[in-house]
Each structure stands twice: as structure tokens, then as C-alpha cells.
Amino acid sequence: MRIERMLVGSVILAALCVPMVRAQSDNSGTNPPPTIQQRKKNQQDRIANGVQSGQLTAGETKNLENKEANLNKEERGMRAADEGHLTGADRAKLNRQQNHLSNDIYRDKHNADTAHYGKGEIGERRENQQDRIANGIRSGQLTPREASNLENNEQGVNRELKGMRQANGGKLTNADRKAVNQQQNKLSKQIYDKKHNASKGY
């Protein structure tokens, strides 16, 4: 008699547990979609990784960060129009734009253009500057607008350096090296100042 009661009790307990286990397994498979803030951080991490790996050139980074800055500006406008909130239509529009930006990041990271820093002190400094910018993007110390402006300046130095080499058979004169070094010093200070101001990336 006691054995029968135990068996009946076990069957009832098992019957009650099965729906609970099924409900838990159903919920574990449905993760909520990332928030707009999470997506912004993820996009910035992907850009930072591309800068640090050399998959993104200064020009590509400038363009991507400019798009990100414009998207952030639009989001602020949407929130200002609705007392700090986003409507369903706002969220849908921002999500579409983030999808476009995500595709742009992928395309730029996987095209044939890559960053080439060169050898020697100038090449090492160029790579170091890009690493510092990448770290600022990833940590949120640099806003997209700040990163875009810094990469624009970096792109200008790269163009000038290329012109100097072309004018001298692929080499740099001592005057060229001095001029580039001064520009890199100026850019280095800009990176420091932007990373240590009150503005935050996300």
C-alpha cells in the first residue's frame, strides 16, 4: 500500500514538473532583441576592432563615425520631441538605420582597403595613434563625432605623407620627417584632449 502511494505521488510530481521545465526551456531560447544603446556600443566595438586590426582605413573610419554621429543626433532630436522617450516608429526607424550602418561596417572591414603604416618611427607612431583612437572608441571616451574628426586629421597627415614620398622617389627628406613629426605631435595632443574631456561616446 505504501509503495503504491509512493508511486502515485511520484507520477503526480513528475506530471507537475514537465510543464515547468518546458516553460523554462521555451523562455531560454527567446532572448530579447538588443536595445538601441546596446547596438550603438556593439557598432563602436566593431569599428574599434577594425581600426586596431588595420581593416579600416582612416578615411573609412571617418565616414562610419560621421554616420554614427548623425544617427545619434537624430535620436536626440526624436527624444527631445517626445519628452525623452522614443516612439515605436522612432525605434523602427533607428533600427533600420543601424542595420544600414552595420552593413557599411562589414563592407568596409572586408574590402581590399587596409591601413598600411610603414616602417620606422613615423610608421610606428601612425599605428600607435590609431590604436589610441580605437581604444577611445571602444571605451566610450571618444564620441563618434570626435573619432570622425580625429580620423579626418589622420587622413590629412596620410595624404601629405604620401605626397612627400611621391615627390622624392618614395623617400622622405629630413625636412619631411620633421614636418610629419610636428603634425603627429599635434594629433597626439588632440587625441589626448578628446579622450579626457567630458563627452562620452554612448
pLDDT value of position 22: 44
pLDDT value of position 202: 76
- Contact predicate 68/101, CB 8 Å: yes
pLDDT value of position 24: 46
pLDDT value of position 25: 43
pLDDT value of position 21: 43
pLDDT tens for the 202 residues of the chain, in order: 555 555 555 555 555 544 444 444 444 456 667 788 999 999 999 999 999 999 999 999 999 999 999 999 999 999 999 999 999 999 999 999 999 999 999 999 999 999 988 888 899 999 999 999 999 999 999 999 999 999 999 999 999 999 999 999 999 999 999 999 999 999 999 999 999 999 988 7
pLDDT value of position 20: 45
With 0-12 / 13-18 / 19 or more C-beta atoms within 10 angstroms meaning exposed / middle / buried, residue 92 is exposed
pLDDT value of position 118: 81
pLDDT value of position 26: 45
